[in-house]
């Protein structure tokens, strides 16, 4: 299949800022699915809220665009009712590890067979740049004009400690590595986490996008 067969073209052009890493992650994910030869009718993507979570609108899989932080909870429900389906759960760092942190830890602890993709730009992108638990100290953000003082944590170490049985980290710059990790994660039976660092070029936002986010 061609990559365009995995997307809902009616929702394009997408709403991500020029230069944002999230589109590269979408591309890597579609290539991973294509290279694995998966039937798109057997794939379910659940997502919460955020720029990263918008990805579920762009893919031509079964998709649930749900509540901020709750993507893994919805994915768990789908998996319990239809275990034969492949579950893909893309989340922002805020979605996955701030509001959704408990769902993340306990999905890993239960080792539920699904792939969590943490699209980590270390900021709340969609709402305009509030710092997230992953921002780390010394970062400027709209909610930290004099820079942040809070520590961040290591997503990979957290995932391993919580019980995830496949964990990997890459960046939107390393596309081939991302494709490889995503393929391995999808093939893995159990809770797999792929953290992908993604750049956030807020300065490039257009007026239209600023208005769209209120």
H-assigned helices in 155-199:
155-162, 175-187
Closest CB 56 distance from ligand TPP, rounded Å: 12
- Tokens describing residue 210: 């600023």
Tell whether residue 104 is a contact of ligand TPP (CB under 6 A). Answer: no
> Considering beta carbons, is residue 50 or 85 the nearer one to ligand TPP?
50
Q: Which of 51, 89, 168, 185 binds ligand TPP (CB under 6 A)?
A: 51
Q: Are the C-beta atoms of residues 125 and 50 closer than 8 Å to each other?
A: yes
> Considering beta carbons, is residue 59 or 99 the nearer one to ligand TPP?
99
Q: Which of 93, 164, 181, 186 binds ligand TPP (CB under 6 A)?
A: 93
> Considering beta carbons, is residue 95 or 195 the nearer one to ligand TPP?
95
Q: Which of 44, 79, 92, 162 binds ligand TPP (CB under 6 A)?
A: 92
Of 109-117, 126-134, 162-170, 189-197: span binding ligand TPP (CB under 6 A) = 126-134
Of 55-63, 91-99, 104-112, 180-188: span binding ligand TPP (CB under 6 A) = 91-99
The Cα–Cα gap between 166 and 190 comes to: 8
> Considering beta carbons, is residue 99 or 164 the nearer one to ligand TPP?
99
Q: Are the C-beta atoms of residues 69 and 48 closer than 8 Å to each other?
A: yes
- Half-sphere exposure of residue 52, counting CA atoms within 13 Å on the CB side? 36
Q: Are the C-beta atoms of residues 49 and 90 closer than 8 Å to each other?
A: no
> Considering beta carbons, is residue 20 or 78 the nearer one to ligand TPP?
20
Of 87-95, 101-109, 149-157, 180-188: span binding ligand TPP (CB under 6 A) = 87-95
CA-to-CA separations, 34 to 28, 72, 103, 152, 173, in angstroms, rounded: 10, 23, 29, 35, 20
> Considering beta carbons, is residue 93 or 185 the nearer one to ligand TPP?
93
Using CB positions, name the residue nearest to ligand TPP.
92
The Cα–Cα gap between 199 and 202 comes to: 9
Handedness of CA 172, 202, 123, 7 (dihedral sign): negative
DSSP assignment of 43-96? EEEEE-SSTGGGHHHHBSSEEEE--TT-HHHHHHHHHHH-TTSEEEEEEEHHHH
Footprint of ligand TPP on this chain (CB under 6 A)?
49-52, 68, 92-95, 99, 119, 121, 123-127, 132
């Amino acid at each position: 299949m061609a990559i365009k067969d995995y997307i809902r073209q009616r929702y394009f052009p997408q709403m991500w800022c020029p230069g944002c890493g999230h589109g590269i992650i979408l591309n890597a994910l579609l290539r991973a699915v294509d290279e694995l030869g998966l039937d798109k009718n057997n794939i379910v993507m659940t997502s919460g809220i955020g720029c990263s979570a918008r990805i579920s609108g762009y893919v031509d899989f079964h998709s649930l665009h749900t509540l901020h932080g709750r993507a893994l909870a919805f994915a768990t429900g789908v998996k319990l009712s239809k275990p034969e389906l492949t579950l893909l759960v893309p989340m922002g760092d805020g979605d996955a590890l701030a509001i959704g942190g408990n769902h993340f830890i306990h999905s890993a602890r239960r080792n539920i067979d699904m792939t969590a993709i943490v699209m980590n730009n270390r900021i709340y992108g969609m709402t305009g740049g509030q710092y997230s638990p992953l921002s780390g100290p010394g970062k400027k953000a709209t909610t930290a004009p004099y820079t942040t003082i809070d520590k961040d944590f290591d997503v990979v170490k957290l995932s391993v400690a919580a019980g995830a049985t496949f964990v990997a980290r890459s960046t939107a710059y390393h596309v081939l590595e991302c494709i490889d990790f995503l393929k391995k994660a999808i093939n893995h039976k159990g809770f797999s986490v792929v953290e992908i660092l993604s750049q956030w070029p807020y300065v490039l936002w257009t007026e239209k996008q600023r208005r769209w986010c209120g």
